[in-house]
């Protein structure tokens, strides 16, 4: 009896091994990458050779790198089956860019392409084309985002969240009318495509939103705001010198010290070393919806509320966010707004999301929960070809901060390649107005 059981076990193992060897879904495949340029750049002869390539295995975080040949191709041989992030980038010097296009530019131009969570195996094939594009390089950049918050019991929870926006130019800029938007879209890692209102990559198909005019390029030309806030002023109220920044706080307090919340309760942080002092913030977001920690700090200007979601400006501390900044002479409150595409009936309580033109965006930053557990990307490659994240996760005091590219005199110029995977790094404790 034991002998028969042993023979049966060997047969099962042999069958499973044979199936694994022949199953195309688990077999390695040659990953053949081909580089091209977006349509708007194809009139120019930009190089396709020496494009830097990187593939990241999302199961084990293993990274492989290479560079394209003269014909714009490269093969990663015998690539393990699985899901990958695939990235490509090339930097065209300012002189080279001007020679090719006849367009003057002060800075080098970075072209890049990115495909996230791409399944690679013999069943689906290993041929991938990457379309290089270059985003808008703005004078304003998002410098630092403290979205993770600090320890739930010993820190300030999410009260110490903030965003810092930096003047990366050589001229004085005015922050008046600068808008910050939390971009809204699907956060489901595995959307049910049978619902009919998702795009193939998992984002919402906004053409399916109730009231969307026929023919609108709802997904290609627009983003949708979960919340939208604007710096006040008359146009020249808030000058920001080159190399300086503004900090917009959820609550402009010294979070290391006790404070009295909106209910009259004194709140004390048990470990002040876990949080930060935001009492010098330039602006704060005050909604006044009865949230205990949402207090209106005297002497600190409030951001104008164009659209809000929730009881305070609470950033998703798991990292399922994207933010964009823009300036416009228009009033975004006058822009159309639509329900998310899953909505079947619009009523007075339906949440509407302001439709924002992508062409208005100066800078954008995407975050994710990590290298695994990613949600569908909210920003196109020409806004942010990558993403940044907090390795330690939420409530750990970590923040994301933009890298310094170079220093001219005393002014720091921050890295801006329109790829947050390259441009940002982590800092264990955020430093408002500072650098890592």
SS3 category, 294: coil
Query: pLDDT exceeding 70 applies to what percent of the chain?
Result: 93
pLDDT tens-digit series, residues 116-141: 888 999 888 889 999 998 865 568 99
- Above 80 in pLDDT, residue 14? no
What region, left, alpha or beta, does residue 235 occupy, with left being phi > 0 and alpha being psi -120 to 50 degrees? left
Task: Determine which of 19-33, 70-84, 87-101, 139-153 has the lowest per-residue pLDDT on average.
Answer: 19-33
pLDDT at 137: 58
Q: What is the CATH number of domain 24-132?
A: 2.60.40.10
How many C-beta atoms surround the C-beta of residue 152 within 10 A? 11
Gap between the Cα atoms of 324 and 317, Å rounded = 17
pLDDT at 12: 44
Angle subtended at Cα 46 by Cα 42 and Cα 51, rounded to the nearest 5 degrees: 115
pLDDT at 366: 98
- Contact in structure between 287 and 309 (CB atoms under 8 Å): no
286-319 in b/e burial notation, b at 16+ Cβ within 10 A?
bbeeebebbbebeebbbbbbbbbbeebbbbbbbb
- Contact in structure between 33 and 53 (CB atoms under 8 Å): yes
Question: Which band of pLDDT confidence, cut at 50, 70 and 90, is reported for residue 13?
Answer: very low
pLDDT at 11: 47
Q: Span 222-231, mean pLDDT?
A: 98
Nearest to 286 by CA among 262, 334, 337, 251: 251
- Above 90 in pLDDT, residue 39? no
pLDDT tens-digit series, residues 356-374: 999 999 999 999 999 888 9
Query: pLDDT exceeding 90 applies to what percent of the chain?
Result: 77
Gap between the Cα atoms of 387 and 365, Å rounded = 7
Per-domain residue ranges for the chain? 24-132, 140-427
pLDDT at 21: 53
Instruction: Report the run of H or E that residue 97 belongs to, with start and end.
Output: helix 94-101
How far from chain centre, in Å, is Cα 242? 25
Q: Span 178-190, mean pLDDT?
A: 96
The answer to whether the predicted template modeling score (pTM) of the entire model surpasses 0.75 is yes
Q: Span 93-121, mean pLDDT?
A: 84
pLDDT at 15: 45
pLDDT at 135: 64
- Above 80 in pLDDT, residue 420? yes
If you count them, how many residues does the chain have? 436
Q: Span 95-107, mean pLDDT?
A: 81
């Amino acid at each position: 009896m034991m002998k028969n059981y042993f023979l049966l076990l060997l047969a099962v193992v042999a069958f499973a091994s044979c199936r694994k060897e022949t199953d195309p879904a688990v077999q390695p495949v040659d990953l053949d990458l081909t580089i091209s340029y977006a349509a708007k750049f194809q009139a120019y002869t930009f190089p396709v050779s020496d494009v830097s390539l990187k593939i990241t295995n999302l199961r084990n975080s293993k990274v492989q790198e290479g560079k394209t040949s003269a014909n714009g191709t490269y093969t990663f041989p015998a690539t393990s089956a699985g899901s990958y992030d695939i990235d490509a980038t090339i930097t065209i010097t300012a002189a080279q860019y001007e020679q090719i296009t006849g367009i003057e530019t002060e800075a080098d131009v970075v072209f890049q392409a990115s495909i996230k969570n791409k399944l690679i195996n013999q069943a689906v094939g290993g041929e991938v084309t990457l379309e290089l594009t270059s985003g808008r390089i703005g004078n304003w950049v998002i410098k630092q985002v403290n979205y993770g918050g600090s320890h739930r019991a010993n820190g300030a929870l999410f009260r110490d969240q903030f965003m810092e926006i930096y003047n990366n130019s050589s001229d004085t800029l005015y922050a008046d009318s600068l808008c910050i938007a939390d971009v809204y879209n699907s956060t489901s890692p595995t959307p049910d495509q049978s619902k009919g209102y998702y795009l193939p990559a998992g984002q919402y198909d906004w053409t399916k939103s109730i009231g969307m005019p026929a023919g609108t390029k709802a997904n290609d030309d627009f983003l949708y705001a979960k919340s939208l806030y604007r710096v006040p002023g008359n146009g020249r109220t808030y000058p920001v010198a080159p190399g300086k920044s503004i900090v917009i706080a959820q609550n402009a307090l010294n979070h290391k010290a006790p404070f009295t919340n909106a209910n009259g309760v004194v709140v004390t942080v048990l470990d002040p070393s876990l949080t930060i002092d935001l009492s010098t913030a330039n602006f704060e977001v005050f909604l006044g919806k009865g949230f205990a920690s949402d207090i209106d700090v005297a002497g600190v200007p409030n951001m104008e509320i164009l659209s809000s979601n929730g009881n305070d400006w609470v950033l998703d501390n798991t990292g399922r966010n994207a933010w964009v900044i823009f300036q416009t002479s228009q009033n975004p409150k006058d822009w159309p707004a639509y329900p998310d595409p899953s909505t079947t009936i619009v009523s007075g309580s339906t949440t509407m999301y302001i439709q924002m033109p992508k062409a208005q965006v100066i800078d954008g930053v995407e975050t994710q929960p990590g290298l695994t557990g990613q949600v569908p990307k909210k920003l196109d490659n020409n806004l942010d070809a990558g993403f940044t994240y907090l390795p330690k996760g939420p409530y750990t005091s970590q923040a994301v901060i933009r890298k310094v590219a170079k220093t001219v005199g005393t002014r720091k110029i921050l890295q801006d390649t329109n790829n947050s995977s390259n441009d940002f790094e982590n800092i264990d404790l955020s430093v408002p107005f500072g650098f890592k």
